[in-house]
Each structure stands twice: as C-alpha cells, then as structure tokens.
Amino acid sequence: MTELINGKGLSLIPKTDAKQGLKDFKSDQEVRWCPGCGDYAILAAVQSFLPELGLRRENIVFVSGIGCSSRFPYYLDTYGFHSIHGRAPAIATGLAASRPDLSVWVITGDGDALSIGGNHLIHALRRNVNLNILLFNNRIYGLTKGQYSPTSEVGKITKSTPMGSLDKPFNPISLALGAEASFVARTLDSDRKHLQSVLREATAHRGASLVEIYQNCNIFNDNAFEQLKDPEVRDDITLRLEHGQPIVSATKAVVRGANGGIEVVARDGVAEDQILVHDAHHPDPSLAFALSRLDEPAFEHVPVGIFRQVDRPAYDVLMAEQLDEAVAQKGPGDLSELLLGGDTWRIG
Amino acid sequence: MTKQVQQLDRVIIRFAGDSGDGMQLTGDRFTAGTAEFGNDLSTLPNFPAEIRAPAGTLPGVSSFQLHFADHDILTPGDAPNVLVAMNPAALKANLGDLPRGADIIANTDEFTKRNLQKVGYAASPLDDDSLSEWRVHAVPLTSLTVKALEGFDLSKKDAERSKNMFALGLLSWLYHRPTEQTIKFLEQKFARKPELAKANIAAFQAGWNYGETTESFSVSYEVKPARLAPGVYRNISGNQALAYGLIAASVQSKLPLFLGSYPITPASDILHELSKHKRFGIRTFQAEDEIAGVGAALGAAFGGALGVTTTSGPGVALKAETVGLAVTTELPLIIVDVQRAGPSTGMPTKTEQTDLLMAMFGRNGESPVPIVAPMSPSDCFDAAVEAARIAVKYRTPVMLLSDGYLANGSEPWRLPEISDLPDISQEFTTEPNGEDGAFLPFKRDPETLARPWAIPGTAGLEHRIGGIEKADGTGNISYDPNNHDLMVRTRAAKIDGIDVPELAVDDPDGDARVLVLGWGSTYGPIAAAVRRIRKSGGKVAQAHLRHLNPLPANTGEVLKSYDRVLLPEINLGQLALLLRARYLVDVISYNRVRGLPFKAEELAGVIQDVIDSD
C-alpha cells in the first residue's frame, strides 16, 4: 500500500483561534436556487464543514464561473469572485499561483467545467494548481433552461435535442485522471457525511483536487442519480472507495479480471483475498482509471469516494521556488542595475 | 593605397537575405556597433512569419534596415543608401525601395542560374546593364568566407554560414564601426563551441580586411557621433522597453507583477523578457490560451498583484469577455496589444494601427477602457508605467497599444533616473467604510470614482464581486433599472475623469494653419515629415496623442484652432472616426495599410498638399 508523504494542504494558510460556526460562513444574501435543488444540500454541507478547518475566514476565496452552481460564492461570507462562463479555473489559477496563503475553491458545473471551460479545467489539473474544484454534475443545463450537457447520456431528449442527443458524454473522473490530476473524488449531494469526508481529504491535499458531486436538478433532470439514493438499491450499487479497504458494495465486489482488467462480481462466493484493495495513493493512475469506467454504460455499480490522491508539488510552490532561486543566485532585483544592464554609453 | 574617407551626416543601410542567412543578427550587431559609436539611430526589421520559408524565394526574404546619423533622427529612413543583397531574391524584393545612385553589395556566389530562375530573372542582373543606375559592388561573399576559413575544422556548410559575419565585417569597415563588441559578442554566443566562435570572428575580420584591400571599394565613410542630450544611453527595442516599463511599474507601484500570457507574434518577446527577471518577484505564466492568460492576470489582480496580459490583435479578440469582467469588477489590469496586420491572422510580422476601435469598443455592453499608446520604441517604457498608473489608481483595465513597428524597431534610449520615475503606488483598503463596520466594495472615492481595492487576507472586508450588475455601494446583485443606469454612467464617468496631460502642440512660430495629428508609432515619420516642411519654409503644427481614452481635455480646442487637421493613420481612419464624432471637426484622413510604417517623404508630400490646398 502506498503511503502519502504529506497532507499539508493547509499549512501555508493562516489559522484562527476564534471559534467558528456555520453562521460565520453564511452571507446576508438570500439564496435563490429552485426549491428542492441539490445545491442547497451542498451549500449547507460546505458551510458546516468550513469551521472544522480553523482557517481565517478572510483567507478563503470561492471562485466560480457561470451557471446555477456558480452563484455559490454569493452565499458564503468569505471572499468570492463570480466570474464568467468556464473561466473560473483560469482566474483561480492566477490567484492561487500568486497567493499561497489562500484556500482557493472553484465552484463549477458540468457545462461550465466540461464544455465552455474544458480547456482551463484540464490545464489547472495538470499544473496541480492549489485549488479545491467542486464540480456539481447534474448532467443538464439548468440556468439556460434544460439543454443537454457534456455529461448527459446519449439519446437525451431536451429542448435542443428533440430527437435525442448524439454526443458521447464525458466521464469527469476519467477526464481528470487523464489530465494528470493528483486528487480525484466523487461524492453525492445528499450524503452530507460522505461529502464532508471527501472535502476533508481534498482540503488536506496541496494541489488541485477535483471533486465530482452528483447533484440533482429537480427541474430539468430530476432523479438522475436516484439509484444512488434509493434505500432499496443504493447499497448494492455503490462501490465505496476507501484507501486500503476492499472495493465492495453490499452485494458486489471488484476483482481482477482474466484479461488483466477489473470486473464487478457477486460478493458471495468470492474469497476476501480475491477482492481488490483500493490504493488511491498509487503513482500509476491506471487502476483509478479502470475504476472510473465501472459505471458505464448502465450505471449499475458506481464507485464513490477518492479515486486518486497522490503527492505532487503544487504549482504555487514551484513558482515561488523559482523566484527564491533567482534571488538566491543574483540577489533581489534592482531597477537601476536592470536598465544599465545592456551595452551603454555616456554622452556629455 | 590610402583610401579616401568621405564625411556623411546620415546613412541608411538595408541588409537583406534569405530568412536563414542571419540578417536580423547582422543588423543587430551593426546596430550595437553604431550605438556604441554614438550615432543616433533607428531600425526597422522586416521578416516573414515563416521560420524558414523556401530558400531563395521572394517570400523568404528577411531584411533589417538601419538609419544612423550625426544628429537626432526620427525614423528608420525612407530609402536605403546601401543594400546588401545576399541572393537574387533579396535584390529583387528590395530594389524598388532603392533610389538611383545607391550602392548595392551583391553576393555573386548566390546568383546562380537556379536562384535567378526562382525569382524570375532570365539572366543575372549583375551581368547586364539593368542595374546601371546603381553602384554595384559584386562580391563573392560566400566563397571569400569559405576561403578565409580554410584552416578551420569546419564543414563547408558551416563555413558558408558565416558569410553574414563577412558581410558585417565589410560594412563595419565601410562605415568605420568599432569591432570590439562584435568580437566579444561572438565569443559569448559561441562560448560552448570555441571553433565556431573563432571562425565567425575570422569571417568578420576577413570582411573588414577585404574592404580595406579590394579595389571594389575606393571610398569609406564616416558619420560622426550625434550630439544628443547628455546622459547614459543604451539601444532598446520596443518590446524590451515595454517589458522594462512593466518591471518599473511593479517597483513603483509596490505590487508584485503577474503576467498571464500566451505566445503570439509580435508580442512574445515581452513574455520572454519578463520571464528572465524573477528576481523582481515577477511571476510569468504561460497559459493554455489567450483567455486563460488574461483570466489568470485578473485573478492575480483580485489577490493584489499588478496583473498584466500581453498579446496581439487576435488575442485581444479572445480576451474581450474577461476585459469586460475587469471593467465591471473594477480591478486593475493591463492588456498589452502589440498590433499587427489583420483581420484574422492577417500578416503576423507586419505592423498596423487597426486595433484602436477594438480597444475602444470591442466588448459587450457599455464597457469603457482607458487606452495609452507609445510613440517610439523607447517610449514603450514610459507608456507602460503610465498604463499601470491609471490601472492602479482608477481600478480599471487599461489597453496599451503598441505595434509591430515599435516592438521590433530600436533606437538609443536615454536612461531615466530611477528617482525621477513616478510613485504610482496606492494603498489597499484595510478598514470598513460603511456604518457599523460594514464594508461597501462599491463605495467610491469621490474624486477618482475608484472603488476600494480590498484583497483576500484582509479581515472584516470579506466581499463578493462578479460579472452580474452590482448595487451601488454594497456590490450585491442588482437588477434594479435605475441602479443599472447609475452604474453604467458612473463607470463611464470614472474613465472620462482620468487625469491625463493636456495635448501639447509643436508650432514654433505659432502661425501655422495646418495641424498634423497622430497617435502611436506614427510619431517618427510624422515628425520627420514636419521637419522637411519647415526646412523648406512651410508652416505646419504637430500634435501627438498618447492618451486615446480619455482624450486630453483640450483636444477639441486644439483641433478647432487650425484651419485644417491632417491625421495620418495606418488604418482606414479609426481615430478620425472618433474625433469627427466627438468634436465635429472635419479631420482629413491619410491612410495606408501596407504592413509598413509611413515614410517621411510620403507624409511630407501629403502635408504639403494640404497646406497648398487653400
């Protein structure tokens, strides 16, 4: 089992001794999502989780793009930047790269992060910018009133696709792993305990953390993740990913397949030592990628939890090191010396 | 034989060859020697966008023009006195610019049947009388170089490659240029390949000696040092001056510089330059695209950095939405647009002034942005500091409009005293500004209308900003009709109220009836043309706009105090459109969009026509 060298995600951010509660993180703005929206549960989970970090509130920044979820920053009494469609990871990159003392969060949706902003997302991940990226995936466009999204299933009937959508959807976890992400997780809006446990690990991770949150849009794509919430079936189809633990649901288990891949089998009749033990810290993302493909195409068994969590230097740290190294080599910059640095001559 | 030395007051040389012939390097080194010697100078590099266009063809020709003089000069010159043509293509591409009687130094080795055919010469122009109106010096540059390097352990190809240094040596002899710096430069450039260093130096010296001994050159020329204002000088290109200006702006604003940029011709050298100066705490970020470049710069500005993005026209188009976000969130940001020929990809290495209206209006909604334009390569330094001053003081994105001509051209720069640079620092807001300890992120300074700049990490001032319309004062989301009208007008009033210096007019006798107005890089050619008119007894006034938005308060008054206003622009009349709309003045436009700067002679003719049109 691979162990992490550090989990010092918050070490550079100033702490507070003051006791914080949920109320400290609620802004005075009225929350304006549709009644029943999954965003409420996520907001409440984040607001009640943040006090646990013990960070100075003024050192927390939420940056968002455009979409329903991107209104999130207005409802938190921290610094916030509601930017433009798809660009939150880019804007947050400039902020996080130049301010290692900040806890920077990106709030985005499946359209914002994977359509218009896909390029920025993958580059923020590969650079390992110190960001907690919460990707609210409801598999539909909400704010523009119900067009299919890049995570909608093929054949989705929407206003813009009356005969069904043609596009193969992105799997956000596979995409993030392919983009060299160092922390990739999936959780569910309605499971506060699990959501917060993932946030705990994500904030402890220094670098880019991508957390996909299955979020229900009860207006345009209701019950998209119902199987994961239905008490009748959820324990059967949810494969819990916990580092060092066998990957199982109540009735299923993940084992190595004959072809070298992995497969899901009935838990009954499988010897415990045949069940794959989850290693989120493994340097090679191949297994994490294989796990990310298990839910396709039928959504019959869905891994939930942390797929990958590995140490890699964060972008701001590397950038700061270069500045320090430049000063160490040649001393701090001197404007006069700079201007006189070329071939000069004097007149008069 | 002692050769004759002739005194000249100024010379224009053009080095031209294949893009692989090293003409830009040759020009740079000749420029360095000329700067060291103390002449005033101005340069015009002109090269294809292709890294290596097909050898020997017309599109592959790369040239470098240098104008140097014993007095102060304003342009790289209209017409070369000397053309160094490394091959037939270089001759053919440049002959049209060469006045009768000019010298042509042609590399005869390259005038082969095949090379001649490539550019459509049926016979070598060196052999017939088609060049009889010029003074042709036929020099086998390549074979002389190879011969000079016989003793070196080099392939023939490597030896041939040094022919540009032979040419440089010859021209250095012809114009009495100092040689030490070029030798030192070659030693450093090839420090890891000492054999190549020695070979290039040998080629350079062989070129010099050839000039001294051959009968092909009976005269050499001297151009005495110029009597420029006392001070310490260095030669500098516009892109380098702009980069230095941004560094100075960082120092003078006490803000760490964050550059978010995506490589694009002709702006990339600013990114390259700034990335070398991390000692100043400068963070350079090569983004995944133009949008991320400006986005990261804006994010850094939110965090308290001096956020800068550098690009050229197509990049500005991509950045427009983020610039709009900076307008409405009222954060400082500098957008450097090194303009190039458009539309679309256009001609990436050629110059133009065609982005003015995009800088003014190229965003959705009412989104005014201040615009500053440098007027010469070295002025890019001051213009960058000025752009930063406005951005920081008024919390606004600022467009800095350079262009390809300024970016790659160079001139001697009298270094400023550091103590003379303006202090452009502003305090971050650290205290609540509302009742009961509330913080109102959009409560403005009554004088500048700037909003507070409170950066993350400041306790008690936590606030949210964004692209949605904000309520005056609180900054909360607002769809109130009257509030929107107020905010639109207030943002406009803030930009209109920026303090910019009055427009100065150069009118020595005060009785000119014609004003020539310009902006940006046309300053040199316009001023040179104005000199010509005055020298021949004509009366003309000149004014040049550095601030395009807001315009200086006296602009209308200046325009209306002349019978006629002539406005040359390297576009189809973009500033003219603005001035006509704003001041109802019948500005006379003169426009050329050839990807090249104006020539002084051309503009002098246009000015004279306007003067004579009474």
**In chain B, positions 232-251, which contact chain A (CB-CB < 8 Å)?**
232-236, 244, 247-248, 251
- B467/A348 Cβ within 8 A: no
**Res. B47: pLDDT tops 90:** no
> Any chain A CB within 8 A of the CB of B329?
yes
For B363, half-sphere exposure in the C-beta direction (CA atoms, 13 angstrom radius) is: 20
> Any chain A CB within 8 A of the CB of B380?
no
Q: What are phi and psi of A262, to 5 degrees?
A: -120, 155
Chain B residues whose beta carbon lies within 8 Å of the beta carbon of residue A84: 321-322, 325, 467
- Going from the C-alpha of A154 to that of each of A136, A158, B483, the distances in angstroms are 20, 11, 44
- B235/A56 Cβ within 8 A: no
The terminus-to-terminus CA distance of chain B in angstroms comes to: 58
Is omega for the bond preceding A297 within 30 degrees of 0, making it cis? Answer: yes
Q: Which of B205, B199, B148 lies closest to B172 in space, CA to CA? A: B205
Residue B52, pLDDT score? 78
Mean pLDDT of all residues in B17-30: 93
Q: Which of A204, A214, A176, A154 lies closest to A89 in space, CA to CA? A: A176
Q: Which of B166, B154, B250 lies closest to B200 in space, CA to CA? A: B166
**What length does chain B have?**
614
Residue ranges of alpha helices (H) inside B287-361 are: 290-302, 313-329, 356-361
- A90/B292 Cβ within 8 A: yes
**Res. A154: pLDDT tops 60:** yes
- B461/A83 Cβ within 8 A: no
pLDDT, one tens digit per residue, over B218-236 is: 899 999 999 889 999 999 9
- B299/A63 Cβ within 8 A: yes
Q: Which of B460, B446, B38 lies closest to A56 in space, CA to CA? A: B460
Q: Out of A8-17, A206-215, B490-499, B519-528, pick the least confident.
A: A8-17
Give the Cα separation of A132 and A171 in Å (integer): 19
Classify A330 in phi/psi space as left (phi over 0), alpha (psi -120 to 50) or beta. Answer: alpha
- Which residues, in sequence order, are bridge partners of residue A305? A186, A241
Mean pLDDT of all residues in B154-172: 95
Give the Cα separation of B354 and B362 in Å (integer): 12
- B35/A343 Cβ within 8 A: yes
**Res. B495: pLDDT tops 70:** yes
Task: Determine which helix (DSSP H) or strand (DSSP E) holds B212, and give its type and residue range.
Answer: helix B194-213
% of chain A at pLDDT higher than 90:
92
Mean pLDDT of all residues in B4-19: 95
pLDDT, one tens digit per residue, over B429-484 is: 999 999 999 999 999 999 999 999 999 999 999 999 999 999 999 999 999 999 99
Q: Which amino acid is at A136?
A: F
Secondary structure in 3-state letters for B516-531: EEEEHHHHHHHHHHHH
pLDDT, one tens digit per residue, over B258-310 is: 999 999 999 999 999 999 999 999 999 999 999 999 999 999 999 999 999 99
Residue B419, pLDDT score? 96
| A331 CA: distance to closest CA in chain B (Å) | 7
Instruction: Yes or no: say if B409 and B242 are a contact pair by the CB < 8 Å rule.
Output: no
- B232/A94 Cβ within 8 A: no
> Any chain A CB within 8 A of the CB of B224?
no
- B230/A97 Cβ within 8 A: no
Chain-wide mean pLDDT for chain B? 96
Instruction: Yes or no: say if B246 and B419 are a contact pair by the CB < 8 Å rule.
Output: no
Residue A1, pLDDT score? 54
Give the Cα separation of B197 and B212 in Å (integer): 23
Mean pLDDT of all residues in B574-597: 97
Beta strands in B404-467 (DSSP E): 410-414, 464-466
pLDDT, one tens digit per residue, over B77-132 is: 999 999 999 999 999 999 999 999 999 999 999 999 999 999 999 999 999 999 99
pLDDT, one tens digit per residue, over A188-227 is: 999 999 999 999 999 999 999 999 999 999 999 999 999 9
Give the Cα separation of A198 and A204 in Å (integer): 10
| B469 CA: distance to closest CA in chain A (Å) | 11
How confident is residue A4, by pLDDT bands cut at 50, 70 and 90? Answer: low
Give the Cα separation of B153 and A201 in Å (integer): 63
Residue A342, pLDDT score? 79
Residue of chain B nearest A335, judged by CA positions: B248
Chain A residues whose beta carbon lies within 8 Å of the beta carbon of residue B397: none
Secondary structure letter of residue A116 according to DSSP: I
- B466/A74 Cβ within 8 A: yes
Distance, C-alpha B37 to centroid of its chain: 23
> Any chain A CB within 8 A of the CB of B492?
no
Residue B416, pLDDT score? 97
Sequence-separated (6 or more) residues with CB below 8 Å from residue B501: B546, B547, B552
How confident is residue B53, by pLDDT bands cut at 50, 70 and 90? Answer: confident
How confident is residue A6, by pLDDT bands cut at 50, 70 and 90? Answer: very low
Burial of B155 (0-12, 13-18, 19+ CB in 10 A): exposed
pLDDT, one tens digit per residue, over B399-411 is: 999 999 999 999 9
Residue B389, pLDDT score? 98
- Going from the C-alpha of A337 to that of each of A149, A279, A333, B244, B417, the distances in angstroms are 55, 53, 8, 12, 11
- B258/A97 Cβ within 8 A: yes
Q: Would you call B252 helix, strand, or coil by DSSP?
A: helix
Instruction: Yes or no: say if A211 and A185 are a contact pair by the CB < 8 Å rule.
Output: yes
**In chain B, positions 410-469, which contact chain A (CB-CB < 8 Å)?**
415-416, 418, 421, 456-468
Is omega for the bond preceding A285 within 30 degrees of 0, making it cis? Answer: no
- B285/A331 Cβ within 8 A: no
pLDDT, one tens digit per residue, over A287-319 is: 999 999 998 878 899 999 999 999 999 999 999
- A59/B457 Cβ within 8 A: yes
Is omega for the bond preceding B88 within 30 degrees of 0, making it cis? Answer: no
Give the Cα separation of B508 and B470 in Å (integer): 51
Instruction: Yes or no: say if B471 and B501 are a contact pair by the CB < 8 Å rule.
Output: no
How confident is residue A346, by pLDDT bands cut at 50, 70 and 90? Answer: confident
DSSP string for A237-291: HEEEE-TTSB-B-SSEEEEE-TTSSEEEEESTT--GGGBPBP-TT-S-THHHHHH
Chain B residues whose beta carbon lies within 8 Å of the beta carbon of residue A348: 229-231
Handedness of CA B433, B434, B438, B440 (dihedral sign): negative
Residue A5, pLDDT score? 46
**In chain B, positions 512-541, which contact chain A (CB-CB < 8 Å)?**
none
Q: Out of A23-37, B49-63, B545-559, pick the least confident.
A: B49-63
> Any chain A CB within 8 A of the CB of B229?
yes
**In chain B, positions 260-279, which contact chain A (CB-CB < 8 Å)?**
260, 277-279
